[in-house]
């Protein structure tokens, strides 16, 4: 740092890295002067849209350069980025990353390393790309007792679900998402909720001081959702969204990711296509919703540049950035103890006593039924039920027992209802 001038390096020059580099090279230097010094790549022979003199394949050229103040990590994956970030922070260099995998894996450790070395660590883009969520949560809402943070934080799955709501099959919607570049050739992380789980882990740490492991966050994806589920959701004035939900109450803390039926008037129901949204609830604020583009090179680069400017401001004050790692108020609550309401579709034989037998099994497990709809006749009638709130354990036990009834051909689907 010299006279409000900062020297920056970038690790990675893929889609996001290239967008970041372009933004850095075209920043207005009247307020702050950013000097891009080095760009780490794995293949220096590849044609780039920036000066080849910036390119290096040697991380040590960046780590050991005392003139470099700040490093932006956009390599993807966990390694070698995690070790690079640790080393840079230990050397007192500030780091900005969009890497949710790394922050979910060891975010608390990296925050403490940054603070111990008077360095800055920023990762706004790791949760919702271009949506400014973390700064408001960390700074503006620091004095609030938050009770819930929930959100649609994977654009690929939301694009697919929106297309299915509009009439597409899951397969067609996924193929379209891949053709548009929303989904990878292997879409597992997106459609099975893994990407959203990592982001939920980051939000858990910053909002509630809890750093859950990947095994602690119950995760279910959207690959089993069907067009018929959406038809029923519409009849119930609802839609289906993949939601990451983090609750913190006197009964305990729990983070989870799964598809839910959302009332059509709820703010999350209006989030369509590849957009993301994060909903925050607390006693004094009631409910806040942050929404916008949650994926893509341009929105992600925008969040990274915002972090660059914040980091430079902090470095000018000779301070690390402030991450209030809150002390958890309560212990963890296992998913089996979480209260849920379920939408359940059953294929049943249309014969006397079927509904009574099903209701009896629910009753034995302390589950009450809110509504029932039956359609069709013969051996493949369809029974659709929505339950009142009950523990996940009791709901699961009920379904296991019901599935064994001779009059029940199959449990076609079970989807939670957003409460």
327 located within any domain: no
Clarify whether residues 206 and 345 are in a common domain.
no
Crossing angle between the packed helical segments 227-235 and 155-165, to the nearest 10 degrees: 70
* 3 state SS of 304: helix
Could you check whether the bond before residue 80 is cis, i.e. omega within 30 degrees of 0? yes
pLDDT of 77 reads 87
Instruction: Give the chain's residues under pLDDT 50.
Output: none
Residue 376, domain CATH: 3.30.70.260
- Half-sphere exposure of residue 171, counting CA atoms within 13 Å on the CB side? 0
99 located within any domain: yes
pTM summary value: 0.92
Clarify whether residues 283 and 143 are in a common domain.
yes
Q: Which DSSP state fits 303?
A: H
Burial 359-384, CB ≥16 within 10 A → b, else e:
bebbeebebeeeeeeeeeeeeebbbb
Residues above pLDDT 70, as percent of the chain: 96
Residue-range definition of the domain harbouring residue 167: 134-293
146 located within any domain: yes
129 located within any domain: no
35 located within any domain: yes
Clarify whether residues 356 and 275 are in a common domain.
no
Clarify whether residues 159 and 229 are in a common domain.
yes
- Residue 106 tokens read as 């060891």
Clarify whether residues 76 and 97 are in a common domain.
yes
- Residue 366 tokens read as 């302390």
325 located within any domain: no
pLDDT of 22 reads 93
Query: From the CA atom positions of the chain, what is the Rg in Å?
Result: 24
The total number of structural domains in the chain stands at 3
Residue 162, domain CATH: 3.30.360.10
Clarify whether residues 159 and 42 are in a common domain.
no
308 located within any domain: yes
* 3 state SS of 375: strand
Q: Is 199 annotated in the active site?
A: yes
* 3 state SS of 163: helix
**Bridge partners for 289 per DSSP:** 279
Clarify whether residues 45 and 182 are in a common domain.
no
Clarify whether residues 302 and 379 are in a common domain.
no
Clarify whether residues 304 and 286 are in a common domain.
no
* Distance between start and end Cα atoms, the chain: 50
330 located within any domain: no
Residue 25, domain CATH: 3.40.50.720
Q: Which of 93, 100, 199, 238 is catalytic?
A: 199
Clarify whether residues 155 and 289 are in a common domain.
yes
Clarify whether residues 139 and 288 are in a common domain.
yes
Clarify whether residues 27 and 144 are in a common domain.
no
């Amino acid at each position: 740092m010299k006279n409000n001038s900062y020297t920056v390096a970038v690790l990675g020059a893929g889609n996001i890295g290239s967008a970041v580099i372009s933004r850095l090279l075209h920043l207005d230097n009247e307020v702050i002067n950013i000097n891009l010094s080095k760009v780490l790549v794995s293949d220096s022979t590849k044609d780039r849209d920036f000066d080849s003199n910036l390119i290096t394949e040697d991380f040590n050229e960046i780590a050991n350069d005392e003139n470099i103040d700040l490093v932006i990590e956009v390599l993807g994956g966990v390694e070698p980025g995690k070790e690079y970030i640790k080393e840079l922070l230990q050397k007192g260099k500030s780091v900005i990353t969009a890497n949710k995998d790394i922050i979910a894996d060891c975010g608390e450790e990296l925050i403490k390393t940054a603070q111990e070395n008077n360095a800055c660590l920023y990762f706004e883009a790791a949760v919702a790309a271009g949506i400014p969520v973390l700064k408001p949560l960390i700074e503006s809402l620091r004095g609030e007792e938050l009770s819930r943070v929930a959100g649609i934080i994977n654009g690929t799955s939301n694009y697919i679900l929106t297309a299915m709501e509009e009439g597409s099959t899951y397969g067609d919607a996924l193929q379209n998402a891949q053709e548009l570049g929303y989904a990878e050739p292997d879409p597992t992380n997106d459609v099975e909720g893994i990407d959203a789980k990592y982001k939920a882990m980051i939000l858990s740490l910053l909002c509630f001081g809890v750093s859950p492991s990947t095994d602690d966050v119950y995760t279910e994806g959207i690959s089993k959702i069907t067009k018929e589920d959406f038809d029923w959701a519409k009849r119930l004035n609802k839609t289906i969204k993949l939601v990451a939900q983090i609750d913190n109450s006197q009964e305990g803390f729990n983070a989870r990711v799964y598809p839910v039926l959302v009332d059509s008037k709820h703010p999350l129901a209006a989030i369509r296509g590849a957009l993301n949204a994060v909903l925050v609830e607390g006693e004094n604020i009631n409910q806040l919703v942050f929404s916008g583009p949650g994926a893509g090179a341009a929105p992600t680069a925008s969040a990274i540049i915002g972090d660059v400017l914040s980091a430079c401001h902090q470095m000018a004050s000779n301070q690390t950035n402030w991450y209030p790692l809150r002390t958890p108020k309560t212990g963890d609550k296992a998913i089996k103890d979480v209260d849920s309401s379920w939408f359940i579709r059953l294929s049943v034989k249309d014969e006397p006593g079927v509904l009574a037998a099903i209701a009896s099994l629910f009753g034995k497990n302390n589950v009450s039924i809110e509504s029932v709809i039956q359609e069709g006749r013969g051996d493949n009638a369809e029974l659709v039920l929505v339950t009142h709130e009950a523990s996940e354990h009791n709901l699961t036990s009920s379904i296991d027992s019901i599935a064994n009834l001779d009059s029940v051909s199959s449990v076609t689907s079970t989807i939670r209802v957003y409460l």
